[in-house]
Amino acid sequence: MAQLTAGIHHLEHHERPDYLNELSTLQHNHQQLAGLQGALVNNIATVLRLVLAIALLAAIHPLLVLLPLAGVPSLVINVYVVRNGHRVEDRVAAPRRLVLRIFQMATTRDAAKEIRLYGIADELVACTDEARREIHDLEDAATIRAAVLGALGWFIVGLGFVAAMAVVAREAAAGRATPGDVVLALTLAGSINYGVSGLASTTGWFLTNLKTGRRLAWLEDFAAEAAERATPVQAAPVPSVLRDGIRFEGVSFRYPGTEAEVLPGVDLFLPAGSTVAIVGDNGAGKTTLVKLLCRFYDPTEGRITVDGADLRQFDVAAWRERQSGCFQDFARLELLAREVVGVGDVVRVEDEVAVSAALERAHAADVSGTLPGGLSAQLGRSFDRGVEPSTGQWQKLALGRAMMRDEPLLLVLDEPTASLDAATEHALFERYAGAAARTASRSGAITILVSHRFSTVRMADLIVVVDGGRVSEIGRHEQLVANGGAYAELYGLQARAYR
């Protein structure tokens, strides 16, 4: 399952609650699927035994053939109970995920400080209790219903048994059945009851697995459909060198499963070989633009072209190989420090020279000196002797990771230095922009930088101001300042504050 979900090139299934419910229920149940064949064989054997028992009973008295009918209500009830169980399972998926999520929040470090500072532990416990109560109420109601209906079913089976025995007793009294027949009838009736109950439980089991199988098939289809989009049959080759640039052509975007239009028709040209800064308020759509470029999502309308080729024509893996990036919510990979950086170009993960060079490029060579154990340190306090880097150190390692690939065509730096001081960010970009300008003339690579610090932003060749998903201003720093728009105003504010 992990392979299936992680193999999907986009992020939709990680974000939609309805999909997450399906996935968590599937995770809960999928191990049972293994025994499916055995159960099928078992069921066939049970049916054969039943047929044989009925034939033998018929020899004692034809009416006894009807005995298995008494088991029918029980079977029907069982199917209903199992189906009801599935409905309950669907309904408890969401509260169950909530309980798990709160548990993770309360037991891991991420939220530990704020949970204590704001004293919300009790509140979280109350939330969990409420969700648990909802789960138990639903499950208890289903259990009670199952017990009552089950008892009713077996009462009917019992009646059938009594009736059958009455028939046999009457036959014996009339001398038409021998004591041997009576014993045989008793045994056969018992084995029929046993068979019917076996049939009922395997049918239930079968239905449950059918549902799990359907869920698995849904996930496999979902993954297959994504794979189809990720690997077009006639994939266009990713250019080795960018000559023209990347173009957004009327790109509209809504996050899957949501209504709000985050990008309402963006037209934007990013010339080959340039450093582009994207600025704008929180929630303006900067990260969304970046995510579309990485193909974590496809535009709802319009298209993005790379040297004229639609991004969707590329094989996603091939496109990503020519990319690198560091995100606002960078990953804290708990590996050896050297590996944390090295996985940025996984084939060279063991190459210490390459790792040191990447850290150098990221202006982050000092992390190895400040971590006890240097680049061989195991990171993460969940490990014995694990070292916990500060947020800034984590960020520097993530930046180093982004610098591992030698010549990406597209480098996205989405607020990669928010945890670093302004001077470090400035120095990093000054150095980086210089190096980028040198290689860009060869590869036409584009670097995208999202930042709130205008001292860094002003260095970019092109500045894109995003407001409510639209490009409100675009140009070089001097142009935008001369235009006297929102950029000029914000730049003025920050510049004054620093003076």
CB of 282 to ligand ADP, least distance (A): 4
Residues in the chain: 499
Which tokens is 68 given? 């298995």
Tell me which residues in 9-48 interact with ligand ADP (CB under 6 A): 15
Q: Residue 402's beta-bridge partner residues?
A: none
Q: How far apart are the first and last CA of the chain?
A: 56
Cα–Cα distance between 272 and 300 in angstroms, integer? 25
296 binds ligand ADP (CB under 6 A): no
Q: Which of 284, 304, 341, 358 binds ligand ADP (CB under 6 A)?
A: 284
Q: Where are the beta strands (DSSP E) in 335-483?
A: 410-414, 446-450, 462-467, 470-475
Instruction: Pick the stretch among 269-277, 280-288, 296-304, 468-476 that binds Mg ion (CB under 5 A).
Output: 280-288
417 binds Mg ion (CB under 5 A): no
Q: Which of 21, 287, 447, 456 binds Mg ion (CB under 5 A)?
A: 287
Cα–Cα distance between 70 and 77 in angstroms, integer? 12
188 binds ligand ADP (CB under 6 A): no
Scored b (16 or more CB within 10 A) or e, 416-449 reads: bbbbbeeebbbebbeebbeebeeebeebbbbbbb
Pattern 260-279, binding to ligand ADP, x per CB under 6 A? --x-----------------
212 binds ligand ADP (CB under 6 A): no
Residue pair 215/230 in contact (Cβ under 8 Å)? The answer is: no
- 472 three-state secondary structure: strand
Pattern 228-257, binding to ligand ADP, x per CB under 6 A? ---------------------------x--
Contacts with 115 (C-beta within 8 Å, 6 or more apart), sequence order: 105, 106, 121, 124
Among residues 212 and 417, whose Cβ is nearest to Mg ion? Answer: 417
Residue pair 317/230 in contact (Cβ under 8 Å)? The answer is: yes
Nearest to 321 by CA among 359, 290, 347: 347
Among residues 264 and 373, whose Cβ is nearest to ligand ADP? Answer: 264
DSSP line for 283-314: TSSHHHHHHHHTTSS--SEEEEEETTEEGGGS
Minimal CB distance residue for Mg ion: 287
CB of 239 to ligand ADP, least distance (A): 27
Among residues 288 and 324, whose Cβ is nearest to Mg ion? Answer: 288
Among residues 99 and 262, whose Cβ is nearest to ligand ADP? Answer: 262
288 binds Mg ion (CB under 5 A): no
Which tokens is 198 given? 């076996």
Q: Which of 273, 285, 342, 389 binds ligand ADP (CB under 6 A)?
A: 285
451 binds ligand ADP (CB under 6 A): no
Instruction: Pick the stretch among 94-102, 285-293, 422-430, 438-446 that binds Mg ion (CB under 5 A).
Output: 285-293
288 binds ligand ADP (CB under 6 A): yes
> Residue numbers of the site for ligand ADP (CB under 6 A)?
15, 255, 258, 262, 280, 282-288
Footprint on this chain of Mg ion (rule: CB under 5 A): 286-287
